Amino acid sequence: MIQHLPILAIMTYFLGAFLTTLLGHNSKSVRWFLVMLASVASFVMMCLLIKPIFLDGGIIGYWMGGRAPEAGYAIGIGLEVDALSLFFGLLVTFTVLLSAVYSIKYISRDDAQDKYYTLFLMLAGGVLGLVLSGDLFNIFIMVEIMTFAAVALTAYRNWAEGSLESAFKYLAVGSIGSSMILAGTIMVYSQVHTLNLAQISALLAGQGLTNTTVFAFALLFIGFGVKAFIVPFHPIAADAYMTAPASISMVFSGMVNKAGVYGMIRLVYVVFQIMDVKSVNYLIVLLGTITMFIGVTSALNQHDFKRLLAFHSISQIGYVITAIGLATSLGIAGGLYHAMNHTLFKGLLFLCAGAVFYSAGTTDLDRLGGLAKRMPQTAAIFLVGAAAISGIPPFNGFASKWVIYQACYEAAAAASGFASIFYAVVTIVGLLVSVMTLASFVKVSQSVFFGQLPDEFDEVKEAPLLMRIPMWIMAACCLLAGLLPGPLSRFALQPAAAATLNIKGYIDTMMGGGYAASQMGDVTPVAELDFSTIGYWQPVAWLVLFVIIMAAVLIVALGSQGARGNKRSTELEKVDGKYATFFGGEHSTYSMVGGSDLFWGLRYNLRHYFGFLSDMHSGVVNDYALWAVTAAAGIILYMFLFL
């Protein structure tokens, strides 16, 4: 039974998509029932896999139609679920579940909802299929399904400003990436005449690197880079995240770009086993660092809530890529940890943006303000998310970023010469990016939730309960993931990180015992993962202490103030000048600093750089394609020069 669960989980989504089109056309309740059933069922199936895979350390191999390998050649299409796949599978199903709950209310005002849910479930199935697949061509197909559904969902609200153009840009640049993946797949096929990941991995390790293999690797790497939206493939992501409905933006940042990250990890660690080559490490770390820096500085420049979040999403993926590129156990664990945390806090923030959009009808930072008075819960949740993404203890972003800094700096200490300085600079950039992230979230909270409430938003109401539930769940997860890094790492992160290095087990599960040894000659032993240096379990004691004290003080402060506040009616506040804000004598109704002017000092000093960023995101699809093609050419050239 247990080995059927992965394919069932994938098919549940696709079947749900099919049935939603078929039956959900007229009836709201049928539609909701189908969507909830599909997302809950898939999530439960993934959870059932936790025990055999995470806890018992097993790997599940599954041949579609029972077509096992014959004469040492994989002829069927395989699914293979190891801890790494399951880790991402859990993220996917969790995100889908919460997003489905959120969607019920969030898109209730739109028409053609059955199409929304169909595409939504197709997207979910595509991503889940990608992370659970053990077949390179199948991965391509799933990437295409994913891109197709994602583009359609980006254009879903085609009345909204810019959604069509961003969908088109996504499609144009995304299809370049897909073509790269397809071309890379066939290059690999020309070398090893199989499409099964496990067999490819075994045969490639036996063959060593040929020119074709290097070319194939470069193409696949670029393809997944486009899907993970690393710089300079990122402008499409910024547009798509901004214009898609918030529930879809959450899915994009929670799992669609994770699919690219997963593809990259699978590619470099398992299929090509190329991470012992230093030049590949440098390339990945460099790309990751550039991604996080450009992402965050572009975010400082934005004046739309969701577009700002989109750039942060790009920036956080940069952290993940950097950590994974370090190729140390600490780095992999930190990268996976941060990938998970990113799903949590970024999903949370996108949902907050969605709640603001739902209630106030805009996400323009220059127009919004003072919503904390009207939407206190959303504001509180947003603060949790902002603290988490800026890495403020005790939330989850802090723990994972800490591991990543440690990994970077240890890599710097272990390396010598130029490399050590490079990694040290990476650490500094990482810390700086964190501060800038904090800064830009201060900007958001100032211009959306605090400050003065413009008159047009006086009647704004709190988001409905069905939208707040997923938000609260995510906020709780943010806190839990920050407070319990120990169990998390023992039961999920370490198995997943170990899976990236357990290549022999991965191959033998699919191809039969001893296959790896026969093809690869000396089998790379399962590298010992040294987790002793992971320091993040240490602070838990005092982090808990910190929380307790903070909570106690807060309760005291709020309690006493609340009691006094009750006696004072809000009417009195309006009449009595004592409670008016200080304007220095001149009366002014609305004179807040606009969101985009909040970093004037910074922007003035770095105006040339910000001008360059502005030009870079020109909005012309040709420019984005040019960036992508140029970067692709550069990466291919680099691979040929240094591999």
Q: 296 to 335, contacts with other proteins by CB under 8 A?
A: 301-302, 307
Q: For other proteins, which residue of 56, 591, 608, 641 counts as binding (CB under 8 A)?
A: 591
Other CB atoms within 10 A of residue 383 CB: 17
Site stretch for other proteins (CB under 8 A), options 94-102, 109-117, 250-258, 450-458:
450-458
Name the DSSP class of 275: T
Q: For other proteins, which residue of 19, 98, 100, 182 counts as binding (CB under 8 A)?
A: 182
Q: What is the enclosing helix (H) or strand (E) of 80?
A: strand 78-81
Any contact of residue 289 with other proteins (CB under 8 A)? Answer: no
Any contact of residue 172 with other proteins (CB under 8 A)? Answer: yes
Any contact of residue 609 with other proteins (CB under 8 A)? Answer: no
3-state secondary structure at position 216: helix
Structure tokens at 562: 């609340």
What's the closest the beta carbon of residue 87 comes to other proteins, in angstroms? 25
Q: For other proteins, which residue of 445, 480, 484, 491 counts as binding (CB under 8 A)?
A: 445
Q: 406 to 435, contacts with other proteins by CB under 8 A?
A: 406, 409-410, 412-413, 420-421, 424, 427-428, 431-432, 434-435
What's the closest the beta carbon of residue 522 comes to other proteins, in angstroms? 30
Site stretch for other proteins (CB under 8 A), options 51-59, 81-89, 185-193, 486-494:
185-193
What's the closest the beta carbon of residue 261 comes to other proteins, in angstroms? 23
In the complex with other proteins, the residue whose CB is nearer, 249 or 502, is: 249
Contacts of 433 (CB under 8 A, 6+ apart): 292, 293, 296, 315, 318, 319
Q: For other proteins, which residue of 175, 362, 377, 524 counts as binding (CB under 8 A)?
A: 175
Say if CB 117 and CB 20 are below 8 A apart.
Answer: yes
Site stretch for other proteins (CB under 8 A), options 269-277, 472-480, 618-626, 634-642:
618-626
Q: For other proteins, which residue of 554, 612, 634, 637 counts as binding (CB under 8 A)?
A: 554
Binding mask 452-491 toward other proteins (x if CB under 8 A, else -) reads xx--------------------------------------
**Residue 557, by phi and psi: left (phi above 0), alpha (psi -120 to 50) or beta?**
alpha
Any contact of residue 446 with other proteins (CB under 8 A)? Answer: yes
Site stretch for other proteins (CB under 8 A), options 203-211, 329-337, 466-474, 559-567:
559-567
Structure tokens at 242: 């901004």
* Cα 345 to Cα 108, 272, 359, distances in angstroms: 24, 32, 21
Q: 238 to 257, contacts with other proteins by CB under 8 A?
A: 239, 242-243
In the complex with other proteins, the residue whose CB is nearer, 528 or 571, is: 571
Other CB atoms within 10 A of residue 477 CB: 21
Other CB atoms within 10 A of residue 467 CB: 24
Q: 366 to 385, contacts with other proteins by CB under 8 A?
A: 370, 372-373, 376, 379, 383
Any contact of residue 112 with other proteins (CB under 8 A)? Answer: no
Among 259, 269, 284, 240, which residue's Cα sits nearest to residue 91?
A: 259
Binding mask 566-585 toward other proteins (x if CB under 8 A, else -) reads ----x--xx---xxxxxxx-
Rounded to the nearest 10 degrees, the angle between the axes of helix 136-154 and helix 211-228 is 30
What's the closest the beta carbon of residue 469 comes to other proteins, in angstroms? 21
- In terms of Cβ atoms closer than 10 Å to its own Cβ (0-12, 13-18, 19+), residue 419 is middle
Q: 519 to 538, contacts with other proteins by CB under 8 A?
A: 535, 538
Any contact of residue 635 with other proteins (CB under 8 A)? Answer: no
What's the closest the beta carbon of residue 619 comes to other proteins, in angstroms? 3
375 vs 573: CA distance, rounded Å: 20
147 vs 123: CA distance, rounded Å: 8
Any contact of residue 612 with other proteins (CB under 8 A)? Answer: no
Site stretch for other proteins (CB under 8 A), options 346-354, 400-408, 460-468, 522-530:
400-408
Any contact of residue 2 with other proteins (CB under 8 A)? Answer: no
What's the closest the beta carbon of residue 45 comes to other proteins, in angstroms? 27
Among 124, 153, 130, which residue's Cα sits nearest to residue 142?
A: 130
Q: For other proteins, which residue of 98, 152, 197, 631 counts as binding (CB under 8 A)?
A: 152
76 vs 65: CA distance, rounded Å: 8
Q: Could you tell me the sign of the dihedral formed by the alpha carbons of 51, 53, 56, 59, in that order? A: positive
Structure tokens at 474: 């995510």
What's the closest the beta carbon of residue 155 comes to other proteins, in angstroms? 6
Specify the length of the chain in residues.
643
Contacts of 558 (CB under 8 A, 6+ apart): none
In the complex with other proteins, the residue whose CB is nearer, 208 or 601, is: 601
What's the closest the beta carbon of residue 458 comes to other proteins, in angstroms? 12
Say if CB 457 and CB 371 are below 8 A apart.
Answer: yes
- DSSP sequence for 41-70: HHHHHHHHTHIIIIIT---EEEEGGG---B
What's the closest the beta carbon of residue 373 comes to other proteins, in angstroms? 6
In the complex with other proteins, the residue whose CB is nearer, 21 or 524, is: 21
Structure tokens at 68: 């096992």
Q: 193 to 232, contacts with other proteins by CB under 8 A?
A: 193, 195
436 vs 442: CA distance, rounded Å: 10
425 vs 283: CA distance, rounded Å: 15
Q: What is the enclosing helix (H) or strand (E) of 503?
A: helix 503-511
CA–centroid distance for 21 within its chain: 28
In the complex with other proteins, the residue whose CB is nearer, 48 or 419, is: 419
What's the closest the beta carbon of residue 239 comes to other proteins, in angstroms? 5
Rounded to the nearest 10 degrees, the angle between the axes of helix 235-243 and helix 136-154 is 50
What's the closest the beta carbon of residue 412 comes to other proteins, in angstroms? 7
Q: 114 to 143, contacts with other proteins by CB under 8 A?
A: 137, 140-141
Give 61's strand partners: 80
What's the closest the beta carbon of residue 561 comes to other proteins, in angstroms? 5
In the complex with other proteins, the residue whose CB is nearer, 29 or 608, is: 608
In the complex with other proteins, the residue whose CB is nearer, 278 or 568, is: 568
Any contact of residue 23 with other proteins (CB under 8 A)? Answer: no
Any contact of residue 561 with other proteins (CB under 8 A)? Answer: yes
Structure tokens at 641: 């020069």
Say if CB 61 and CB 78 are below 8 A apart.
Answer: yes
141 vs 147: CA distance, rounded Å: 10
Other CB atoms within 10 A of residue 556 CB: 10
Q: For other proteins, which residue of 112, 597, 609, 640 counts as binding (CB under 8 A)?
A: 597
Q: For other proteins, which residue of 11, 30, 44, 392 counts as binding (CB under 8 A)?
A: 392
Q: 50 to 109, contacts with other proteins by CB under 8 A?
A: none
Say if CB 405 and CB 435 are below 8 A apart.
Answer: no
What's the closest the beta carbon of residue 333 comes to other proteins, in angstroms? 17
